[in-house]
Structure 1
Amino acid sequence: MTTATAELAAFLRTRRERLDPRDFDLPVRRSRRTPGLRREEVAELAGVSVDYVVRLEQARGLRPSAAVVEALSAALRLTDGERAYFFDLARQRPRGTGEPATTAEPSLARLVDDLSPLPAMLLNHRFDILAWNGEMARLLLDFGTLPPSRRNAMWLCLLHPEIREYYVDRERVVREGIAHLRAAWAAHPDDPVLTALIAECTGGNEEFARLWAERDVRGTGRAGKVLRHPGAGVIAVDFEVLVPLRDSGQRLLIGRPADEASRAALRSCAGSPG
């Protein structure tokens, strides 16, 4: 697993190389040997020295200030998720205190049950499943049959032999899952369990390793997935991720049917009358 400094360097290089000089009204000369903008061009856009950009991209021990991170984010035209990732790598975002949550906060566990008949579950920052209701178990898997170390939404999505085949658009789901996981690691680089999870996925799955190297970043939020349920057929579900103000280390994931056919399929899946 790479260090945050080395990751910051690689991240900046990949973002710079993805940019098209024509979008910045810069000349596209044949002398350009590498894709994207030159370091000199990024430095000018961000208002920093070329040497500073070189040292950042070579992981030479710099810790950019919040102002520099903001300037480089604008110069590189980072998305909101990529910008947050950059701030995390530079250690410029406020961090929570205490150990990661490993058990569900009781009131949130009750809320998960109260959300029935909507499928819902409670996760921590590394996507460990802390609580779930019956609808979520019937939609995906009875998590209670898994050892605690395997009750992880990302591991299930990416590596579980049955669950990973549920998704109709599996490549997109895997790509988004890896982007979520990368954002989580940047915010918690010292979490050994999260680091071990990423190492296991990288070493055990070529697809994961390839997509991880692309350094796509995405924060948690709403997302739509189409599931191929073995009993209820195709179900399109919109998932919403909410972060409680008092328990910001835990995340509430709620699924809602995306259309009427999926609503009927969810009812069938849950064993409810149509």
Structure 2
Amino acid sequence: MTTMAPESDVRRHELAAFLRSRRERITPEQVGLPRGARRRTPGLRREEVAHLAAVGVTWYTWLEQAREIQVSPQVLDAIARALLLDRSERSHLFSLAEAADPAPNADCPTATPALRTLMEQLDPIPACIMNSRYDILAYNRTYGRLHRDLDALDPADRNSLWLAFCDEEWRASVVEIREASRLMAAKFRASMAGHLAEPAWKALVKRLETESPEFREVWAKHEIVDQGGRAKHIRNRHVGLMHLEHTNLWLGPSSGPRLVTYVPIDADSRERLERLYALAPVAA
């Protein structure tokens, strides 16, 4: 006869494993800490996470050891920020802890004021911060008008995979949209391997399958493609055709958040990006 562990035990062990995995993926440099000598632990040490979250080292160690301790939503919020969790990871953390998130719509910690300033300085080169689920977390003035008016969209619809399959204005801007959307779906499937149990990922797939026959067809093929940049032709309805080099600059592990840029390949494309930047309204 097999004895099943209580659900609370399973949740604590899942939470402990999740915290360890996220701690081990972050380098000290990402959170402004010196690397120091003789570092054997991958990523951050437990005491470093405790310091960043302003909690006791022993308490945080017990949390990673799946001890039966009480965790407040405010402490979970501090840990989520210390571990640079994106929105889907943050949601997963609070779900495992069976706690209500005190800031469910908080900006992803990777979209820091410094990164937002960097994106502004890159104008008229389009740039955005995107997570592995293709949520567009932040963007500069030119990117906000590159494919369509992003400001006019509900934030829940600012997901480039959704837009590539379901938004006609976005689709019209991408030359060879069927091939581009197929590759996006294959990259998304590769990223989803680490998020199979997360509700936000499953909800996006279900929404796409419901709304897009093209996505259903592509998704059924189970194609996998690594993340990577490529040249793209984008036809903006205001300034015309542009030839741009798409590049991902990773802000953490390769499957995590990234700064996405579109650098003009030729002089005509550069001039058209400058015109687009001039046409885009200045943020209030």
Normalising to structure 2: TM-score of the pair?
0.58
Equivalent of residue 258 in structure 1, options 259, 262, 265: 265
Partner of 1:164: 171
Partner of 2:91: none
The Cα of 1:248 is off from its aligned counterpart by: 7.4
Instruction: Kindly report the root-mean-square deviation, in angstroms, between the aligned alpha carbons of the 2 structures.
Output: 2.4
Partner of 1:105: 112
The Cα of 1:206 is off from its aligned counterpart by: 1.2
Q: Deviations over 1:74-126 (max 9, x none)?
A: xxxxxxxxxxxxxxxxxxxx943654345323322222222222110001221
Is the contact between residue 129 and residue 259 of structure 2 (CA under 8 Å) also seen in structure 1?
yes
Q: Secondary structure at the match of 2:224?
A: coil
Equivalent of residue 156 in structure 2, options 143, 149, 158: 149
The Cα of 1:169 is off from its aligned counterpart by: 0.8
Partner of 1:191: 198
1:270 equivalent in alignment to 2:277: yes
Distance (Å, rounded) in 2 between the aligned partners of 1:147 and 1:108: 22
CA 266–154 in structure 1, closer or farther in 2 if over 3 Å, else same: same
The Cα of 1:261 is off from its aligned counterpart by: 2.1
Equivalent of residue 96 in structure 1, options 7, 22, 27: 22
Partner of 1:222: 229
Q: Which amino acid aligns with 2:160?
A: A
- Give the unaligned 5+ runs of structure 1: 1-93
Is the contact between residue 139 and residue 270 of structure 1 (CA under 8 Å) also seen in structure 2?
no
Normalising to structure 1: TM-score of the pair?
0.60
Q: Which amino acid aligns with 1:193?
A: A
Distance (Å, rounded) in 2 between the aligned partners of 1:246 and 1:155: 23
The Cα of 1:267 is off from its aligned counterpart by: 1.8
Q: Secondary structure at the match of 2:168?
A: coil
**Equivalent residues, number:** 180
Q: Which amino acid aligns with 2:238?
A: G
CA 173–95 in structure 1, closer or farther in 2 if over 3 Å, else same: farther
Partner of 1:32: none
Distance (Å, rounded) in 1 between the aligned partners of 2:253 and 2:218: 34
Distance (Å, rounded) in 1 between the aligned partners of 2:238 and 2:267: 17
Partner of 1:121: 128
The Cα of 1:219 is off from its aligned counterpart by: 2.5
Q: Deviations over 1:44-67 (max 9, x none)?
A: xxxxxxxxxxxxxxxxxxxxxxxx
Q: Which amino acid aligns with 2:115?
A: L
Is the contact between residue 133 and residue 191 of structure 2 (CA under 8 Å) also seen in structure 1?
yes
Q: Deviations over 1:218-256 (max 9, x none)?
A: 222212221121111111111101112499732100011
1:237 equivalent in alignment to 2:244: yes
Partner of 1:181: 188
Is the contact between residue 118 and residue 256 of structure 1 (CA under 8 Å) also seen in structure 2?
yes
Q: Secondary structure at the match of 2:22?
A: coil
Distance (Å, rounded) in 2 between the aligned partners of 1:123 and 1:95: 21
Is the contact between residue 239 and residue 254 of structure 1 (CA under 8 Å) also seen in structure 2?
yes
Q: Tell me the percent identity.
A: 30
